[in-house]
Structure 1
Amino acid sequence: MTPLIAAANGAGPGTPTLILLGLLAAVGYLIHCVIWPYRACRKCGGAGRFRSPSGRAWRYCNRCTGRGAQLRIGRRIWTRIKNNANHTRKHR
Structure 2
Amino acid sequence: MALASLVALLALAGYTALCGMQPFARCRKCSGTGVRQTRRKVTVCRRCHGRRYRLRIGRRLLNTGRDIHRAGTRHPHRHNADEEFTPWP
Aligning the two structures, in what range does the TM-score lie when normalised by the shorter sequence? 0.5 to 0.7
Percent identity, aligned pairs only?
A: 35
Equivalent position to 1:81, from 61, 65, 72: 65
Matched with 1:9 is: none
The size of the alignment, in residue pairs, is 75
How far residue 74 of structure 1 moved from its aligned partner, in angstroms, is: 0.8
Give the aligned partner of residue 67 of structure 1.
Answer: 51
Letter in 1 for 2:10: L
Shift of 1:88: 2.7
1:91 CA displacement: 6.9
Compute the TM-score of the two structures, normalised by the length of structure 2.
Answer: 0.67
Q: What is the alpha-carbon distance in structure 1 between the residues aligned to residue 34 and residue 19 of structure 2? A: 21
Greater shift after overlay, 43-52 or 77-86? 43-52
Q: Which runs of 4+ in 1 moved over 3 A?
A: none
RMSD after superposition: 2.3
Are residue 27 (structure 1) and residue 27 (structure 2) matched?
no
Unaligned runs of 5+ in 1: 1-14
SS in 2 for 1:39: strand
Bigger helix fraction: 1
Greater Cα shift, 32-41 or 15-24: 15-24
Q: How much has 1:36 moved relative to structure 2?
A: 0.8
Q: Is the 8 A contact 1:51 1:59 kept in 2?
A: yes
Is the Cα–Cα contact under 8 Å of residues 34 and 78 in structure 1 kept in the other structure?
no
Q: Any gaps of 5 or more consecutive residues in structure 2?
A: 77-89
Q: Which residue of 1 aligns with 2:81?
A: none
